[in-house]
């Protein structure tokens, strides 16, 4: 593989830290060309110094020679005092800056200055803390508010989850867990992988290994939708368990229940079963990079396959059996067939041409002479 470069930079939000003194750092999810994903933390003063150096390296593209040639985005200078309000209000500009930066010509977006600035540092993985100082407050940028960061009123309190079994990471972007470990969940992905932090460690963890501290998390899951949402299979998968489905790339299916562990209940024709959500893409959506990313990603473990799970909520979990999925899905399909049959039955009656009224026979000459007016009689004479 060639030199490392950045594919995407996403602003996740910011942290309010209290050691060695109160300050703010922005959280970035950096996606690299080797498909690894790292979270890094940078102060805005660092980002601005990086920006000034980048402009000096590329004077033409920064507009120093001719303002019309500028393609490097603008970035406002830090304030004399950067408080929480300015940190919060700057997020929209910073998110747009990162997006533009990655999409600049390769000589800029892939230069060593950019690559080195966003590489993971030691303090990204092990931030300097003091056990006597309170934990940092995390302010996440909601996905539906990234273009309007003023909607953020934070702080967003991260949910704490307990590991129900040991988990050994299989890649550098994941995090190893021991049963009973307490983690804070930063991001919940629909594919069943959650980004978590545990003390000084951060990484992706299968959602199936986690349970909330305050009760079962089934309330977070959507109710089954037997009408189904149309999805297209992006990666083939061969069933391992009896209740899973084997599908080929390009198959069209219907999702009827989205579960937190990343294994969704789907319907193919009249058959239902589980399938990894990360191998599905909503019909009509186009994501060119998705297939290349899937090559290095494996489906997360299913919650039902975790052995010896020490779950305090095990008995109280609300579970829907596969037979219930099949029965309700079949009822829905049959009801659709009946509805369609009634419509088809009624259509011919509605489209049948209405009978025309009968035309009465023309009156005879004698009737006209006896009953009609003088002008009418003249016409037949």
Is 281 within a domain? no
| Residue 313: DSSP 8-state | T
The confidence score (pLDDT) of residue 68 equals 87
**Of 344, 343, 340, 335, nearest to 226 (Cα)?**
335
Is 18 within a domain? yes
120 and 187 co-located in one domain: no
CB 365 within 8 A of CB 373: no
85 and 166 co-located in one domain: no
Is 12 within a domain? yes
The confidence score (pLDDT) of residue 318 equals 64
The parent domain of residue 107 ranges over 6-124
List, for the chain, all residue ranges whose pLDDT scores fall below the cut of 50.
Answer: 146-156
The confidence score (pLDDT) of residue 149 equals 41
The confidence score (pLDDT) of residue 128 equals 66
Q: What does the block give as tokens for 271?
A: 């058959």
Is 62 within a domain? yes
34 and 113 co-located in one domain: yes
Name the 3-class secondary structure at 13.
Answer: strand
CB 12 within 8 A of CB 91: no
Write a three-state SS string for 59-80: CCCCCCCCHHHCCCCCCCCCCC
What residues are paired with 193 via a beta bridge?
206
The confidence score (pLDDT) of residue 314 equals 60
What's the number of domains the chain is made of?
Answer: 2
113 and 182 co-located in one domain: no
CATH of the domain at 183: 2.30.30.40
Q: What does the block give as tokens for 362?
A: 């023309």
CATH of the domain at 93: 3.30.1520.10
CA distance 282 to 332: 21
Q: What backbone phi and psi angles, to 5 degrees, belong to 2?
A: -75, -160
The confidence score (pLDDT) of residue 287 equals 61
Q: What does the block give as tokens for 373?
A: 């007016």
Give burial (CB, 10 Å; 0-12/13-18/19+) of 24: buried
């Amino acid at each position: 593989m060639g030199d490392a470069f950045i594919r995407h930079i996403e602003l996740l939000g910011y942290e309010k830290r209290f050691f060695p003194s109160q300050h703010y750092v922005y959280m970035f999810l950096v996606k690299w060309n080797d498909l690894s994903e790292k979270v890094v933390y940078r102060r805005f003063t660092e980002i601005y110094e990086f920006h000034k150096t980048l402009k000096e390296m590329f004077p033409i593209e920064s507009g120093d020679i001719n303002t019309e040639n500028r393609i490097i985005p603008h970035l406002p200078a830090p304030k004399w005092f950067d408080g929480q309000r300015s940190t919060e209000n700057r997020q929209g500009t910073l998110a747009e800056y990162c997006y533009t930066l990655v999409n600049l010509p390769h000589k800029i977006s892939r230069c060593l200055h950019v690559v080195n600035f966003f590489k993971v540092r030691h303090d990204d993985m092990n931030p300097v803390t003091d056990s006597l100082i309170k934990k940092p407050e995390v302010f996440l940028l909601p996905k539906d508010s990234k273009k309007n960061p003023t909607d953020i009123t934070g702080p967003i309190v991260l949910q704490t989850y307990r590991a129900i079994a040991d988990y050994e990471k299989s890649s550098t972007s994941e995090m190893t867990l021991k049963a009973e470990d307490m983690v804070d969940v930063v991001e919940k992905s629909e594919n069943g992988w959650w980004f978590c932090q545990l003390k000084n460690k951060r990484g992706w963890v299968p959602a199936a290994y986690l349970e909330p501290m305050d009760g079962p998390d089934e309330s977070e899951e959507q109710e089954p939708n037997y009408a189904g949402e149309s999805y297209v299979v992006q990666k083939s998968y061969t069933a391992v368990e009896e209740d899973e489905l084997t599908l080929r790339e390009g198959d069209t299916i219907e999702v009827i229940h989205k579960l937190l562990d990343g294994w969704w209940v789907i319907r193919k024709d009249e058959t239902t079963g589980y399938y990894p959500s990360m191998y599905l893409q909503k019909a009509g959506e186009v994501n060119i990079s998705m297939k290349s990313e899937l090559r290095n990603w494996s489906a997360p473990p299913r919650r039902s396959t975790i052995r010896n799970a020490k779950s305090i909520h095990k008995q109280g979990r609300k579970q829907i059996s596969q037979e219930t999925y099949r029965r309700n899905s079949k009822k829905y399909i049959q009801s659709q067939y009946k509805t369609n049959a009634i419509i088809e039955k009624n259509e011919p009656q509605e489209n049948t041409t209405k009978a025309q009224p009968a035309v009465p026979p023309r009156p005879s000459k004698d009737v006209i002479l006896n009953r009609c007016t003088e002008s009418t009689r003249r016409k037949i004479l």
